[in-house]
């Protein structure tokens, strides 16, 4: 019960105060030669959804630790999506994720490989949070 109330409350925030995002998943394919570069092919359709975007907060304890460790920078962003969205990091995973801000997306980001946190209540994921970094050329490596 409480988890449904929390999920619907978070959805209300995203739909009324959020931004439009595109989320594309890519599958890495390794060539036949051991040192050949991986290539990426889009897996599935582009998802269009609402989310919340924030800058890292140096007054937030977790953000401060990540900033001090050099895992995130002040130019990186924090994004929140519905709990059912798959947010795989861009390394160490079968899928790589590319996130576009806006419709059509003019800035594209990859997920920083420190993991995406899912906040759960009674086993139901309410929302997911990840840190993202701007792709300066607009593409993932191998895309």
Q: For the segment 31-43, what is each residue's pLDDT rounded down to a tens digit?
A: 667 676 677 888 8
- The per-residue pLDDT for range 5-63, each reduced to its tens digit, is 777 777 787 777 788 999 988 887 776 676 766 778 888 888 898 888 989 988 988 88
Enclosing domain of residue 45: 2-134
CATH of residue 27: 2.40.10
Is residue 130 a part of any domain in this protein? Answer: yes
Coil vs helix vs strand at 98: strand
Which spans in 25-127 are helix H? Answer: 61-69
Structural domain count, the chain: 1
In a domain, 97, yes or no: yes
pLDDT tens track for 97-137: 889 998 777 789 988 888 667 777 777 777 888 899 999 88
In a domain, 139, yes or no: no
Q: Does a structural domain hold residue 141?
A: no
Asked if the structure places residue 143 within a domain, the reply is no
Helix (H) or strand (E) holding 17: helix 2-17
pTM for the full predicted model: 0.80
- The answer to whether residue 95 is domain-embedded is yes
């Amino acid at each position: 019960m409480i988890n449904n109330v929390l999920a619907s409350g978070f959805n209300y925030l995203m739909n009324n105060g959020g931004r439009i995002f595109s989320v594309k998943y890519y599958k890495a394919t390794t060539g036949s030669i051991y040192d050949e570069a991986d290539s990426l092919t889009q897996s599935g359709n582009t998802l269009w959804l609402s989310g919340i975007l924030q800058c890292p907060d140096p007054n937030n304890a977790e953000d401060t630790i990540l900033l001090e460790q050099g895992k995130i920078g002040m130019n990186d962003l924090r994004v929140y999506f519905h709990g059912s969205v798959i947010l795989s990091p861009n390394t160490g995973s079968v899928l790589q994720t590319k996130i576009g801000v806006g419709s059509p997306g003019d800035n594209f980001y990859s997920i920083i490989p420190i993991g995406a946190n899912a906040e759960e209540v009674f086993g139901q994921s309410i929302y997911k949070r990840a840190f993202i970094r701007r792709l300066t050329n607009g593409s993932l490596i191998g895309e």
